[in-house]
Amino acid sequence: MLTFLANDQGKIEDLNAKIQTQTSSLKGNNNSLGILLENQREEVEKTSEVINITEMNLLTNSNLTANILSLSYKTKRSFKEIGEMIEAMSNRTNTSINKVGNMMEASFSQLQSSSEDIANTMEVLSNHTKTSNSDVKEVIKEQSNQTKTYLEDMMKDLLKDLKDELVAVIESRIGGGCVNNSLNVTTGACVDSCLRVEDGDYQSCDTCHGYVTCSHNYIFPRNCSETNHNLIWDDSIKRCETQSKTCNPSDFT
């Protein structure tokens, strides 16, 4: 009987030892879990900070793009005003400014394309930030600097080209004097630019259902009729008719 009791007492002591060992292990696991949760909380705070910085960078780049587009519009409008001032100085010119107009249109289109590329790049960066916070801050900073540098260089080149072209036009007009060198537009020939073209109505290069009016080197598109879409321009008689000897509508389909 005493032997059985002694054996039971030993088992109980062994069981208590195991329970204490497991209790100590659980305490250690709880401490490790607490450390892990604290680390995760810190990572979440860092990720939130990176997202806030990214949103600020996106807003900054968006404002930069808007300012550049506004500057491009103002530059284009100023160029038109300069053209009118030069027109007041002389009635005719022997220097073509078509190159400047084409350059302005191409530069404006390039700015619009660049704006779309910037928006797409910013969207990709934003999505990437939400999935991974590794080196995101440095990547966004580099992309922002590259974008800013690219746009600044583009605007510098554009303004330099405009300045050089305008100086050349002004020097040509002042130095060479005014020469009446109007282009001779034959009947039936379409007109897409009124530079050096006599004032009057001419065949359009875009449609038979309308024509263009040239006035002081500026072109103004006209419609034959707002209600009757069957009328077409006859350049031989300089008016819109149901039939034309100079323009075939099927050429524009």
Q: Which CATH number is associated with domain 190-252?
A: 2.170.140
Residues in contact with 43: Cβ distance below 8 Å, sequence separation at least 6, in sequence order: 133
Q: What is the mean pLDDT of residues 126-134?
A: 63
Q: How many CB atoms lie within 10 A of CB 106?
A: 11
Q: How far is CA 185 from the centre of its chain?
A: 39
Query: Is 0.75 topped by the overall pTM?
Result: no
Q: Cα separation of 211 and 208, whole Å? A: 7
| Matching residue, tokens 């779309």 | 116
- As annotated, the residues of the chain forming the CATH 2.170.140 domain(s) are 190-252
Burial of 170 (0-12, 13-18, 19+ CB in 10 A): middle
**Whether pLDDT at 130 is above 50:** yes
For residue 150 the two structure tokens come to 């690219």
CA distance 131 to 44: 12
* pLDDT attached to residue 176: 41
Closest CA to 106 of 76, 70, 147: 76
Q: What is the pLDDT of residues 55-107, one digit of tens each?
A: 786 677 677 667 757 766 775 776 677 577 657 654 554 444 566 466 667 75
Facing residues of 201 across strands?
A: 213
Between 123 and 192, the more confident residue is 192
Confidence band, pLDDT 50/70/90 cuts, at residue 18: confident
